[in-house]
Amino acid sequence: GYAPGLPKRAALLDQTSARLLDEAGQELRRFDGLHPWFDPASGDRVALIDLGHLAPGEYSLNAGGESRRIRVERRPYSALTGALVKGLYYQRCGCALEAAHAGPYAHAACHTAPAKLYENPEVELDASGGWHDAGDYGRYVSPAAVTVGHLLYAYRWFPKAFQDALNIPESGNGLPDVLNECRFELEWLLKMQREDGALYHKLTKKRFAPFIMPEEDKAQEYLLPPTHTATAGYAACAALASRAYRPFDAAFSARLLESAVRAWAWLEQNPRFVPYENPEDVKTGAYGDTNCLDEAFWAASELYASTGEARYLDALTALCPRVELSKFGWREVGGLGALCCLFELDGRLDKAFADGLQGRFLLAADAALETARLSGYGTALSPDGYVWGSSLPILCNGMLLIAAWKRSGKTPYLDAALNQLDYLLGLNALDLSLVTGYGERPFRFPHHRPSASDGVEDPVPGLVSGGPNARNNYPSTRERLPKGTYPAKSYLDETPSADTNEIAIYWNSPAVFVAACFDQLTRENG
């Protein structure tokens, strides 16, 4: 759907004219003299048009003998925003999903047995809980911290988008359900912290489970050794969460802040960075990284915002010049530190430092804006950016553009950000919505073990596909795609295609942020 007060874009392929009709079939306006141009990411010749002001109602767009239905609604993003958050509820681990909340996607409790320390298997610990990370049943600290970070900033910036109850077990307890869902993950993250403050890197089997339901996955789980990136990302996430939960639960807020401070202390006591690598007999996702500078910058920023202590200010000031400030993914989190500095610490930083940080941030936003302008579909991703999980950089650029709009007030940033949400919902070279259950043509076969194993025809709703991937594909994917397939079309809506069609919690979370922005705008504008 489209909203009355926001741009309403449509992509026309190889067409020079189009007609917009109302519900009665009367012509409202014509688009003539269009000039489709070559889009290098998709190979399509595209004319991107704005349908202009339209009142709520049903319309049709006719071009080249085809007709597409256009629906304008006052709040087209409310159900979507809620579904993207509830998609994380369906990823819950260590508990049953009851039919009262999960409907046909209910299942018994899973992964409740104690985990063993990989380095000392005689030691067993309770590490149950949290969200399954992606299409598999592993749980990983760095992606978890970033996911919660995205969601908490979405809530802090766009609280009106989270007023609706989502029918999860905690609904109605006085907290917005997005905070209820984040708390489920935070409680697990607290279990992943050692007494000395370090965070175990991940909790997985030695190999991915076959395509079975989670409660059928009985293989032994292991806690893999702590890492700097997991510990720093958690310190940032927990410090941010301590502020978000303070108005609702002072004790939980204090617990989070204390654990964040302990995590930072471990980083100070262990300054030599050691990158994570899987042991030879562990084949699950590595989530490795080449440095910890960006995670430490984010952590120092959030800890300074939460404590006001000078040592964190000194650290964030020293780290900032060494960090890219426009990235919001699980590996590169400098953008989250920039959000903290620009908005949570506004007025509390040295003016010259803050101005320099803002200048770098807006320069990156301008680059994303230009990338979107050069794309036939308005997508803020260059042709060589379609890698595993290409939805992530597209949605993270949506976050970047929204933040630039909030900082500058310039509407071109906001309009381009909307185009990234439009991409997710079908304004793309695939002509597919990349959210299960939403849009007129949603993808249907995610690489997601419960969706493939539960006996339900439709996949679990509210999950975001990783999307087209033209680099480092599986051999089976290369065989299935025609030779010469363009990057933005390098996609298979097939369960085995993890390289193009897996889901992940940290793809849902930036989608929540972007959708919540436009949901709040439509709520405010009636």
Q: Which residues are catalytic?
A: 136, 447, 493, 502
- Residue 471 is classified by DSSP as S
Which helix H or strand E contains 19, and what residues bound it? strand 18-21
Report the alpha-carbon distance of residue 430 to residue 497 in Å, rounded: 16
Cα-only R_g, the chain? 23
Q: Which residues pair with 204 in a beta bridge?
A: 222
CB 499 within 8 Å of CB 477: yes
Q: In Å, how far from its chain's centre is CA 77? A: 16
CA 85 to CA 516: how far, in whole Å? Answer: 10
- Token duo for residue 173: 């307890």
Write the CB contacts of 212 (distance below 8 Å, at least 6 apart in sequence): 449, 453
Measured distance CA(289)–CA(331) in Å, rounded: 6
Strand order in the sheet with 18-21: 27-31, 18-21, 57-63, 66-72
Residue that the structure tokens 């935070």 belong to: 186
Dist. CA 77–CA 298, nearest whole Å? 30
d(CA 299, CA 238): 9
Tokens representing 377 are 């579909």
Strands 57-63 and 45-50: unpaired
Residue 22 burial (C-beta neighbours within 10 Å; 0-12, 13-18, 19+): middle
What is the full DSSP assignment across 409-467? --HHHHHHHHHHHHHHTT-STT--BSBTT-SSSB----B-HHHHHS--SSPPSS-BB--
Measure CA of the first residue to CA of the last residue in the chain; give whole Å.
15
Q: Which residues contact 28 (CB under 8 A, 6 or more apart)?
A: 20, 21, 22, 54, 59
